Structure 1
């Protein structure tokens, strides 16, 4: 299996919403760090589990960030799941050929003419 492209992977989590949330968190924390002269923190947690007996995984992605404030800090966390296919090209949001495993030729409802 080829290595998964991390940029594409992050862009696909939660149909692109996670990417926007990460961008917002990075900017907010960086701005608060500069404004208040204190450390901030952005943590991304990814957990994977197989979906049934398929070639799919459920990716639980969590974004947890802390912005420093003048007298303390402000914290937010967001967590959702995104199903992905495990393919020869790495983790993909959609399978290359999603209907390939649905039917076998011998199970076809129409019998070929001879």
Structure 2
């Protein structure tokens, strides 16, 4: 495995890509809500973030199920909430996860390449 930092997943960038940024916003909201209630009620709160990965077909893509579970303390007990969604991601060299592939196969776009037709093409 390469020691190149470009071959590693950038979690800050990835969080913004998951579920079109909604997952990151859910984490931000949950952390703020938990922190506010911890200070208000003097009880412990908890936020659990979980990732499950499963290969899509036989290619180099994975379906990432990302979920959060929050435990928000209240004056008489606690409120528990769980949310989960999936995002398909590309697996690049070294296991780096990206929303879009960073490398693509070169496409030859000569005359008629898009349709396969060469009639009417001038030399």
Instruction: With the length of structure 2 as denominator, give the TM-score of the two structures.
Output: 0.78
| 2:8 equivalent to 1:3 | yes
Aligned to 2:98: 92
Relative to structure 1, the CA distance from residue 88 to residue 75 in structure 2 (aligned partners, 3 Å threshold; closer, same or farther) is same
Relative to structure 1, the CA distance from residue 102 to residue 55 in structure 2 (aligned partners, 3 Å threshold; closer, same or farther) is farther
Unaligned runs of 5+ in 1: none
Q: Of Structure 1 and Structure 2, which has the larger fraction of its residues in strand?
A: 1
The residue correspondences of 1:10-89 to structure 2 (distance < 5 A) are: 10-88=15-93
Question: C-alpha distance in 2, partners of 1:68/1:5?
Answer: 32
Task: Quote the offset at 1:10 in angstroms.
Answer: 1.1
Q: CA RMSD in A?
A: 2.2
Relative to structure 1, the CA distance from residue 101 to residue 32 in structure 2 (aligned partners, 3 Å threshold; closer, same or farther) is farther
